[in-house]
Amino acid sequence: MEQLFAALEGGLERLNSAPTTEALEAVRVELIGRKGLIAELSKGMGKLSPEERVATGKKLNEAKQTLEAAYEARQAAFKSAALMQRLEAEWLDLTVPPPGVAPGVIHPITQIQTEIEELFVSMGFAVLDGPEVETEWHNFDALNIPPTHPARDMQDTFWVEGGHLLRTHTSPVQVRGMQTFKPPFRMIAPGRVFRNEEVDASHEHTFTQLEGMMVDRDVSIANLTYFMKTLLAKIFGREDVTVRLRPGYFPFVEPGFELDIQCMVCEGSGCPVCKHSGWVELLPCGLVHPQVLKLGGLDPAEWGGFAFGLGLTRLVMMRYAIDDIRWINSGDLRFLNQFGGPRA
Summarize as ranges the residues that interact with ligand DAH (CB under 6 A).
169, 171, 211, 250, 253, 256, 284-286, 307-309
Shortest approach of ligand DAH to residue 237 CB, angstroms? 25
| b/e map 89-104, b = 16+ CB within 10 Å | eeeeeeeeeeeeeeee
> Closer to ligand DAH at the Cβ: 60 or 307?
307
> Closer to ligand DAH at the Cβ: 194 or 250?
250
Chain residue whose CB lies nearest ligand DAH: 309
> Closer to ligand DAH at the Cβ: 108 or 256?
256
Shortest approach of ligand DAH to residue 121 CB, angstroms? 19
> Closer to ligand DAH at the Cβ: 68 or 132?
132
| b/e map 274-303, b = 16+ CB within 10 Å | beeebbeebbbbbbbbbebbebbebeeeeb
Helices and strands per DSSP (H, E), number in the chain: 11, 9
Q: Which residues contact 96 (CB under 8 A, 6 or more apart)?
A: none
Shortest approach of ligand DAH to residue 171 CB, angstroms? 4
Shortest approach of ligand DAH to residue 169 CB, angstroms? 3
Asked whether 154 and 136 are in contact (CB, 8 A), the reply is no
> Closer to ligand DAH at the Cβ: 27 or 253?
253
For residue 305, count other CB atoms closer than 10 A to its CB: 29
Asked whether 321 and 264 are in contact (CB, 8 A), the reply is no
Shortest approach of ligand DAH to residue 247 CB, angstroms? 12
DSSP code for 214: E
Shortest approach of ligand DAH to residue 284 CB, angstroms? 3
Shortest approach of ligand DAH to residue 311 CB, angstroms? 8
Q: How far is it, in rounded angstroms, from Cα 170 to Cα 224?
A: 18
Q: How far is it, in rounded angstroms, from Cα 281 to Cα 290?
A: 26
> Closer to ligand DAH at the Cβ: 250 or 279?
250
Nearest to 264 by CA among 282, 280, 275, 283: 280
> Closer to ligand DAH at the Cβ: 252 or 279?
252
